[in-house]
Chain A
Amino acid sequence: MTLHRGRGFAAINYPIGMNLGGDPSQALVHSNPDGKFTVTLSSIDLGQGMKSVTRQIAAETLGIPVEDVYVDTADSDTGPHCMGSFASRGTHRVGNAVIQAAQEARAVMLDAAAEELEVDPADLVTDGQGNIHVRGAPSRSITTMAACQAAQFRQGKTVSGRGIFLIPLSEVDPDTGEMTPVSCFAHAAMIVEVEVDDETGEVSVTDMKSAYEVGRALNPKLVEQQLRGGAWMGMSHAAWETTEPYYPDRAHGPVDFSGYLMPGPGDLAPHHISILERPAPDGPFGGKGPGEMCANPVLPAVVNAIYDAVGVRIDDLPVTPEKVLRGLRAQGGAKPRRRL
């Protein structure tokens, strides 16, 4: 028995969202009687941080503390339409819709403040701490709460805004087929190290190094969390999990968690993550979306690493010990390449 070490490389260009037919998302923003704001969406937060990121975006645009924003989402009966949380589109699409809605609400809030302070709304700025004041004259100020209450109880204005983000449908050139299906790409590259046992065919991932270009990391901790969890999922898809182990034969498919293999806490590989920030021109505060591509490059990198380690090229996932052993037998044993 010999353990063979190998390294594999993979890179990805990931399109944010799906651009055929608009891919719209909407947002509504309004102030409440206590001067705090509600962002109403129907976008789903299934743990990826949709609520956190849209809350930050709304607070930044309105110019108020993040604590003063509540995001009400995930109910398509009460929220405006959203295409959904998929294709890494949440931050980019919904974030842009929230900016538009928050800008409209902010304009009403500043109008209300201007009326109370008897100044021109164009002269007003927010301090992000819950105050609106005249530019260059911080003493001439009003709290955002007082401004919103004045709007509601004295001036008869709703401090509210509507937002939608839409990618115009890209026409296809009839002669060349050329089109622009995607407005925003994120990028990543990674190197994976594996150990392949040439007697049992087992593969263990021993190290991962990745660099992700995600636009601006609007919430760096959430970005890192997605990349870390996503790489684990990619590793799992590469060498563990499948619902159809003998596809198209349906036999031996897992029926529960005991039969559905995933790497456990003892199977982890250290993952060194670099996050590169190149703000996207059409992204909310430059943000793109790391959601889906955090899992993708792990799969080819693992397969390439196995090829590097033992010379067996596997093109059918997941990489099981059986496939490795069959490959080794077909080529008469391990033929390490060690290219990287």
Chain B
Amino acid sequence: MAKKPVTFTLNGTERAAFADPGQNLLDLLRRGVGDLTPKYGCAQGGCGACTVLIDGAPHLSCLVLGETVEGRAVETAAGLSGAALHPLQEAFMVHFAAQCGYCTPGMLMAAKALLDQTPKPTREEVEEAISGNLCRCTGYEPIIAAILSVANGSVRA
């Protein structure tokens, strides 16, 4: 079967790649355009490590067909920081919200999706937002604290 050309914006920049039939977005991002920030965890939607935003909404890129992002806006953790760290990245650093770091890009994108929609979430809303993202190291508490600190504007407090 033929490869299919896909054009989409990745973190605001137009990108093009050839998607293999059946190739998922995670693989297209990592091997097609070289963005290694979405992580390959389980490849069946169980861990959240591959979470990216598509048109602002969080998606598990392992469960999205690559060719379906034609014309859409994809955001990954690679696009979070410009000259300075994104407030979420800063907060994750200050709160030691990572150990091995494998879940972190997915956590950041899940958190960004939440805060973009709900700038002042409750703790329960934060828990809900990251409930599809598994973390084996931190016990989640530092991650929740980091996200809430961004919402409260108290990252460095």
Contacts and interface: CB of A to CB of B under 8 A. Distances in A.
B116 interface: no
A262 B142 CA distance: 17
Contacts of B136: 233
B142 A265 contact: no
Interface in A179-233: 221-222, 224-226, 228-233
Given A222-B96, A257-B134, A232 B46 contact: no
B151 to A, nearest CB: 15
The interface size bin for chain A is 20 to 34
Interface string A224-265: 111011111100000000000000000000001110001011
Interface string A259-273: 000101110100100
B130 interface: yes
A9 B96 CA distance: 28
A156 interface: no
Nearest to B99: A47
A266 B127 contact: yes
Interface string B109-145: 0000000000000001011101100101111111110
A340 interface: no
B130 to A, nearest CB: 5
Contacts of A268: 139-141, 144
Contacts of B46: 256-258
B127 A265 contact: yes
A282 B127 CA distance: 43
A229 B138 contact: yes
A48 interface: yes
Contacts of A221: 96
A46 interface: yes
Nearest to A221: B96
B100 A47 contact: yes
Contacts of B126: 265
The interface size bin for chain B is 20 to 34
Contacts of B96: 221-222, 224-225
Contact of A47 (B44, B98, B127): B98
Contact of A262 (B42, B44, B134): B134
Most chain A Cβ neighbours within 10 Å, of B134, B136, B140, B144: B140
Contact of A256 (B42, B131, B137, B142): B42
B41 to A, nearest CB: 8
A229 B99 contact: yes
B47 interface: yes
B26 to A, nearest CB: 16
A268 B99 CA distance: 18
Interface of B: 42, 44, 46-47, 96, 98-101, 124, 126-128, 130-131, 134, 136-144
29 contacts: A47-B100, A47-B101, A47-B137, A48-B99, A221-B96, A225-B96, A225-B99, A225-B142, A228-B139, A228-B141, A229-B139, A232-B138, A232-B139, A233-B136, A256-B44, A256-B46, A257-B47, A258-B46, A264-B127, A264-B131, A264-B140, A265-B127, A265-B131, A265-B140, A265-B144, A266-B127, A266-B128, A266-B131, A268-B144
Interface of A: 46-49, 221-222, 224-226, 228-233, 256-258, 262, 264-266, 268, 271
